Structure 1
Amino acid sequence: MARLNPVARRALKRKAFRKPIADYLARVVEWDHSALKPVKDLVRIFLRLEQDEICPYCQRLIIPERRNMTEHIEHYLDKSHAEYRKFGFTATNLVLACIGCNMTKTTRDLVVDGKAKPIHLTIAEAPFRWPHPYFDDITESLHKAPGPVYSAIPGSLRQAETEQMITDLKLDTLENAESHHGRLLAEQNRLWEEVNALMKQMTPENMAKLEPLHARLQRISRELN
């Protein structure tokens, strides 16, 4: 995945979202408050298109959780840290991450030890502990071979940061690979169930629903192979 564009700004700048975002920043409401759902839903749409449904960390297809069918909005600098709450709705701090990377990263502080906490989240604050999705081109420092097998590209600008990310996220472990493979198979089975149900009644409406399902199945097949 190449360096991301901060497309979430298109959602965050909307007049309708100014108050709920301001309330969050002022600690009037928390992240899971219903008032923030519309802005988060729109951010997801923009990020899904920008990322092409790929996790910016492991570079694998994002598999939505069955229980809510939405991707995790991941904060590069985690919002649970008091000094990073101000970046809760900063476009360059928001990505969609797969459940594996999101849960393994948890609240890890990605500012380099001993470095001052950033006042503004800009490229001037780089480097961080890991490559930054908006400030670094991960494809220039991360090699993902079939398996997948991960390695940092020797001599790349962010080689050390990429090695740290691979270690922190346990991307080079069999457990990680098997967990992602299992989630892919589960989604594949669920999608085939939907396809089979729709094909029992070949109405124009059901035909229209089949196209995106088949496209997703093709992506999953490529990822599995």
Structure 2
Amino acid sequence: MNFGPGRMSPAHRSVIKKKGYKKAIHSYRHGKIQWADKQLAGMRIDLRKSLRAQQSGRCYFCRQLVLQERRNACEDIEHYLDKSKLHYRKWTFSPVNLTIACHPCNLQKGNRDLGDAAIRGSTSLRVGSGSFRWLHPYFDDYHRNIEIHPGWVYAVKASAPKAAEAAAMLRDLELDQIERIQQTRQRYVDLLERTVVLMDKLIERNEVNKPRMKKLTAILKTLKDELRWA
């Protein structure tokens, strides 16, 4: 299965350099507007489109497909180094600081400081600027460090070059919970399949009006509601 690129490439650099966004970016950097300001709305839309394409529509962190809602309720433009921190504000528009993340991963990440002292004091964001707590989207290869097994089971690869960073990312984002969520959903699906098989057998025997059929129908209704929230 294609889980998206191992190492991202900042193809969206051209979006940030568009002349039409230059004035708004200048206003942001001088503290006159915030990231959510409508002056930056066009750029945010273009960034989303570019990042979605680069990431094959998947969250950078968990690699699950992100649903596209009208108001982008399921995804966020993610600043790897949190723009709310004064020492990282200078990299708000840095191409290598931007990804798309699903809303749950972004919430779990919060405003963690993922750079060390060298990163916080650096004047450039590149390989060698310092160390990061997690895998970096543009400087590290996700697939060389993390493997994803069926059922969304995440593990650090035995030969991972950044094993500590990969382990910290999986632990901090609590990606092990995705496996438990998927297991719960699979139990519902299995029960649903068994119920449908039993119903088919009853229909073949012309027993559709018997109490057992009504019981199975009630189970199906319950499963439908449970799956809606699983």
Which string of whole-angstrom CA distances, capped at 9 and with x for unpartnered residues, describes residues 140-186 of structure 1? 0001111111111123111110000000000012587459x7xxxxx
Match of 2:29 in 1: 25
- Cα-to-partner distance string for 1:71-121 (whole Å, 9 max, x where unaligned): 310000000001111111110000000111111001111013x54513211
Q: 8 Å contact 2:66–2:74 — kept in the other structure?
A: no
Pick closer, same or farther for the CA change 1:70–1:99 going to 2, 3 Å. closer
- The answer to whether the 8 A contact 2:7-2:142 is kept is yes
Say whether the 8 Å CA contact 1:141–1:153 is kept in structure 2: yes
Q: Distance in 2 between matches of 1:69 and 1:100?
A: 11
After TM superposition, the structure 1 = structure 2 runs for residues 133-172 of structure 1, keeping only pairs within 5 Å, are 133-172=137-176
Shift of 1:65: 5.1
Asked if 1:57 corresponds to 2:61, the answer is yes
1: CA distance between counterparts of 2:36 and 2:69?
Answer: 17
> With CA pairs under 8 Å and 6+ residues apart, which has the higher RCO, 1 or 2?
1
**Which protein shows a greater Rg?**
2
How many residue pairs end up in the alignment? Answer: 182
What TM-score do you get using the length of structure 2 for normalisation?
0.72
Structural RMSD (CA):
2.5
CA–CA separation in structure 1 for the residues paired with 2:182 and 2:93: 33
- CA distance in 2 between partners of 1:3 and 1:14 (Å): 24
Alignment partner of 1:173: what SS? helix
Q: Which residue does 2:135 correspond to in 1?
A: 131
Residue 70 of structure 1 and its aligned partner are, at CA, apart by 6.6
CA 1:44–1:159: 2 relative to 1, 3 Å? same
Which range moved further: 74-83 or 50-59?
A: 50-59
Identity of aligned residues (%): 37
Query: How far off is 1:60 after superposition?
Result: 1.3
Runs ≥4 residues deviating over 3 A:
64-70, 174-179
Paired residue type of 1:79: K
Within a 5 Å distance, the mapping from 1:27-106 to structure 2 comes to: 27-64=31-68, 67-68=71-72, 71-106=75-110
CA distance in 2, matches of 1:44, 1:70: 12
Letter of the aligned partner of 2:58 in structure 1?
Answer: I
Q: 2:220 — aligned with what?
A: none
- Mapped to 2, the partners of 1:49 and 1:175 lie a distance apart of 26
- The residue type paired with residue 80 of structure 2 is Y
CA 1:6–1:60 in 2, change beyond 3 Å: closer, same or farther?
A: same
- Deviation, 1:58, is 1.0
Length-normalised TM-score, structure 1: 0.74
Partner secondary structure for residue 96 of structure 1: strand
Q: Tell me: CA distance 1:176–1:41, structure 2 relative to 1, closer, same or farther (3 Å).
A: farther
Q: CA deviation at 1:32?
A: 0.8
